[in-house]
Amino acid sequence: MAMAYTSWSLLSTRLFCTNKAKRYSSSLLSSTDLFCANKATAAAAPAATVLYCSSNCFCCACNGRRRDLWWSWSSGKHILRCLKQLQRNGTKARARASSVRWDNPSKRLLSTAASAVEVGGVTISRDEVVKEEDPTNNVPDTIFSKIGMQLHKRPDHPLGILKNVIYNHFDERYPGLFHKFDDLSPIVSIKENFDDVLVPSDHVSRSYNDTYYINSETVLRCHTSAHQGQMLRDGYTHFLVSGDVYRRDAIDATHYPIFHQMEGFRVFTPNEWEKAGLDGTTLAANELKETLEGLAKRLFGNVETRWTDSYFPFTDPSYELEIFFKEKWLEVLGCGVTKQEILTDNGQGGKTAWAFGLGLERLAMVLFDIPDIRLFWSSDPRFTAQFTAGQLGIKFKPFSKFPPCYKDISFWISDAFTENNLCEVVRGIAGDLVEEVSLIDKFTNKKGMTSHCYRITYRSMERSLTDDEINFFQANVREEAQKKLNVILR
Ligand code: DAH
């Protein structure tokens, strides 16, 4: 039977199948749907395309191990294997390796994401979160596609293991007292994320450069403190909230735009401080320090701890806990005595409270010897199989170190240029294959024009990258930087 070819073309960032009989928009193109879409016809995909597969991709030969599939005119192999696999799976796909035609050599980059994700039983559709035409929205597909992943809920993932050890600490110290939440939606109002916890109206964290806005009133939470107000209004006085948090940020081994935090909160009544013979603030501060020192020892063994003064908009006094670990003082968490205003505004007036917030990746990197934050997102069994539920002592053994590739890009910046925006462009193109973006040179000429030179390090955690691939990424970074960031390439 003759194979009908399907060709693909790019319309803004949507991918359409232009086969007469069928039209599929990119929202259908989750890894699974791609092949459904191709079922009736032979598949052809644009050359040089990056397709973000969700980790539960079962249709491709990689069994979900690789989240980014890359192919080009010269290396179309991966998708061929996917199609073969699909045939083996008994579907009616008529595509055969020989029928795949690489149809659109436009060298345009496409990224596709699942059309919906689920958090805590609630479905969140892509259209609710990513609005390319809306200037008050800055959430890219790469972020949306990770919203439902909830790494902290996997009991054998380093983040899940750590979360559960912390839960155990609280359960043993305060049996039955702390309520635990780990699937609250990360979509929150700016009131919850900022106002409820007294973040000043001119604080940098409110900027579009630092936070992912869905619209001018709604954001992807940038910290789990975003839930303090609602929890108190709902009447909870002892709670732990864990979840994914989102920040536009630089790219290096310890920064990733999504990471995980745990928030702790405990309210004290006048009865409790009178019984202790202390004032409310002193009781909260003492109890906070005791609890968290105990937690640090539970996680790190019998380490030396120290407290330093700090600043957070929601606590006063505010502290940071540090431990002496591997010959260095390491910051473990931020905490403090909650400001009265938060309690009063949220139905808990006349009481005191402590609160803390800790970064799960930061601690897990130290506890499990994980050298790069991107590894947490890997579905490569060489990573995932190294960890076991309930076991905190395991040290990650790097399976191999693949070579990095450095590419520099220089341009004249405009006033609106920010490094976070550049990082977003680079991630949008190379995904987790970018390891670092660092400013290596900067100068202003006599005309007052400022030039920046950034070094981009590409490196996969899982395989060697080819020259073709990297050149393709870099060419796209240059093109997109010029287009989206309003810079002049040098
Ligand atoms: N929300 C803070 C952050 O993301 C962490 C934090 C600090 C939370 C102190 C707290 C706290 O509850 O009391 O950096």
Overall average pLDDT of the 23-40 stretch: 29
Share of the chain above pLDDT 90, in %: 73
Closest CA to 183 of 216, 249, 218, 227: 227
Residue 70 has pLDDT above 70, yes or no: no
Buried b or exposed e, range 315-350, using 16+ CB within 10 angstroms: bebbbbbbbebeeeebebbbbbbbbbebbebbebee
State the sign of the Cα–Cα–Cα–Cα dihedral 310, 315, 316, 321: negative
Distances (CA, A) of 127 to 15, 56, 133, 216, 388: 15, 21, 11, 16, 37
pLDDT at residue 296, as a whole number: 97
Q: Among residues 354, 359, 333, 349, which one has the least CA distance to residue 260? A: 359
| Stretch among 46-50, 318-322, 483-487 having the lowest mean pLDDT | 46-50
Mean pLDDT (whole number) for 125-140: 95
Q: Which atom of ligand 1 is nearest to the CA of 228?
A: 12
Least confident among 102-116, 221-235, 358-372: 102-116
Please write down the long-range contacts of 58-67, taking CB distance under 8 Å and 24 or more positions apart: 58/32, 59/31, 59/32, 59/34, 59/35, 59/85, 59/86, 59/89, 60/31, 60/85, 61/85, 64/379, 65/379, 65/380, 65/381, 65/462, 66/379, 66/380, 66/462, 67/377, 67/379, 67/431, 67/432
Residue 45: per-residue pLDDT: 38
Residue with tokens 């591997």: 326
CA 341 to centroid of ligand 1, rounded, Å = 16
**Ligand 1 atom showing the smallest separation from residue 354 Cα:** 13
412 vs 30, which has greater pLDDT?
412
Residue nearest to atom 9 of ligand 1 (CA): 335
CA of 146 to the centre of ligand 1 (A): 23
Distance 457 CA to ligand 1 centre (A): 31
Identify the residue whose tokens are 């024009």.
449
Atom 5 of ligand 1, residue of closest alpha carbon: 357
pLDDT in tens, 222-254: 999 999 999 999 999 999 999 999 999 999 999
Alpha carbon distance 222, 205 (integer Å): 8
d(CA 87, CA 99): 13
Distance 356 CA to ligand 1 centre (A): 6
Task: Give, in order, the Cα–Cα distances in Å from 453 to each of 407, 408, 416, 436, 488.
Answer: 10, 7, 16, 14, 12
Q: Binning pLDDT at 50, 70 and 90, where does residue 28 land?
A: very low
Q: What's the confidence (pLDDT) of residue 199?
A: 98
Mean pLDDT for all residues in the chain: 81
Contact 138/212 with Cβ under 8 angstroms? yes
Q: Which residue has the higher pLDDT, 473 or 10?
A: 473
Residue 394, φ and ψ in degrees, nearest 5:
-70, 135
Rounded Cα–Cα distance for residues 134 and 215 (Å):
8
Q: Of ligand 1's atoms, which has the minimum distance to the CA of residue 264?
A: 12
Look at residues 89, 310, 327, 129 and name the one whose alpha carbon lies nearest to residue 212. Answer: 129
CA of 334 to the centre of ligand 1 (A): 5
What's the first-to-final CA gap in the chain, in angstroms? 52
| Atom 13 of ligand 1: nearest residue by CA position | 335
Quote the Cα angle for 290-296-299, to 5°.
140
Which of 50-59, 352-361, 394-403 is predicted with the least confidence, judged by mean pLDDT? 50-59
The pocket around ligand 1, CB under 6 angstroms, is made up of 223, 225, 263, 312, 314-315, 334-336, 355-357
Helices 360-367 & 280-300, crossing angle to 10 degrees?
40
CA dist., res. 72 & res. 249, Å (int): 30
157 or 468, higher pLDDT: 157
